[in-house]
Amino acid sequence: MEVFTEYLNQIVNQEYRNRIEEIFKWIETQFPNLKREFKWNQPMYSDHGTYIIGFSISKQHISVAPENAGIIHFAEAIEKAGYDYTNQIFRIKWNQTVDFELLEKIIQYNIIDKAECKTFWR
């Protein structure tokens, strides 16, 4: 998690920090081949040089950014989980449970969908 250390150290609220660390640890256990990167002031994961998923936090929520294709493909499941979403992100409020099954499906989708992608973004 060294790539994310400075970012994590800036999170004053320990509960928020623990929550985002839990997500990062889960991702790294489930998807050990993903590379940790910190770009545009955001922790993110990539595969073979292409973006897979990124995160940011605010006072109200964790923003999860699987790119627009991931949002479109999983819009119904994101709604069912109770998360708000836009074209590029969905939001997990601090009082909501993290749906790790949904997160896993989104990450797997991006890995497969971007297997031949030669650029960072779609």
User: Tell me: the pLDDT tens digits for 43-92?
Assistant: 999 999 999 999 999 999 999 999 999 999 999 999 999 999 999 999 99
Question: Is the pLDDT confidence value at 36 over 70?
Answer: yes
Q: What is the pLDDT of residues 17-31, one digit of tens each?
A: 999 999 999 999 999
pTM: 0.95
Count of structural domains, the chain: 1
Q: Tokens in use for 57?
A: 């936090």
Report if residue 49 sits inside a domain. Answer: yes
Q: Please, which pLDDT band fits residue 110 given cuts at 50, 70 and 90?
A: very high
CA distance 8 to 95: 20
- CATH code where residue 75 lies: 3.90.1150.200
What is the predicted pLDDT for the residue at 2?
A: 82
**Best CA proximity match to 114, nearest among 58, 62, 63, 53:** 53
Which residue range forms the structural domain that includes residue 103?
Answer: 2-87+99-114
